[in-house]
Amino acid sequence: MTDWLHRQVLVTGVGGLVGSWLVDALLERRARVVCLVRDRVPDSRFFTEALDRRVTVVDGDICDQAVVERALGEYEVATVFHLAAQTIVPIANRNPASTFESNVRGTWVVLEACRRSPLVREVVVASSDKAYGEQDVLPYSEEMPLRGANAYDVSKTCADLIAQAYATTWDVPVAVTRCGNFYGGGDLNFSRLVPGVLRDVLHGRRPVIRSDGSFIRDYIHVEDGVSAYLATAEALAARPELAGRAFNFSLERPLSVLEMVKEIQRAAGSDLEPVILNEATNEIHAQYLNSKRARDELGWEPIVGLEEGLRRTVEWYRRHFATS
């Protein structure tokens, strides 16, 4: 399935960073997009870019199975991208119950609705590298066990395993994506590294780092993430035997927080010395991914990369801060 023309697609999590860009990509491919929206955040790119005017919006919560089933049934949805989740580690530390509700219950509710739908043909569930928890070997590969220990990591481990269970037990055509740390224009969670540092340096302030700067992560531009989700759905449509498979997506270029800050500053033309708070808790020191399976089985390769991704991101935030 490389032709999305008129295909009925449901996307959850459109108020988040990746969701709005995925909607953009699907509309460019002339798919008919249905979006499940719980909270209407006016600054969300989904609304500021007027994407809500080009799609069908269903008001409701992913934890409400009747709403999800109605959306799938009434709009004859064939492909589902389940991106909705609580994605911020400090929020998970403060509010674990709401994180588990969104990330765990929300996943099985969506998948149960898909199981009961006779029309759904492909389901892509967005997991994360955090689902692996802490491993003894780096980079992480898909064969490694999922063993999250802290609240956020556990929520992603559970959602990931639930998706695999629906594929194995009930033949739900679902595949799982595991990506590193997304960044890009439209991310308004300024506790995250990229928009937080950019907000500081573009306003002439020293960037604030809440960790000690040594944590190592994968960073992937939102448009490379979108291409990963689309490649997964297209491969699943062509090869139903991929149901139950998980795929890592990475630039395979791990960076420490301080190294990433330097890259951000280079893109923004800043040399301000960062302020290091060293306040991060319940986080794994080093996490990064091997994406060989995605390259071999899906033919996926990143098309934006780090330098170009940061250039696009800086441009987006310059425009955003100029008008906000």
Express as a percent the part of the chain with pLDDT over 70: 99
Residue 280 has pLDDT above 80, yes or no: no
pTM for the structure as a whole? 0.96
Segment 171-205, tens digit of pLDDT: 999 999 999 999 999 999 998 999 999 999 999 99
Residue 140 is a catalytic residue:
no
Residue 23 has pLDDT above 60, yes or no: yes
Residue-level pLDDT at 282: 72
Residue-level pLDDT at 87: 86
In order of start, what are the domains of the chain with their CATH numbers? Answer: 8-185+220-252+288-303 (3.40.50.720)
Given the residues 152, 183, 229, 317, the one annotated as active site: 152
d(CA 316, CA 3) in angstroms, rounded, equals 29
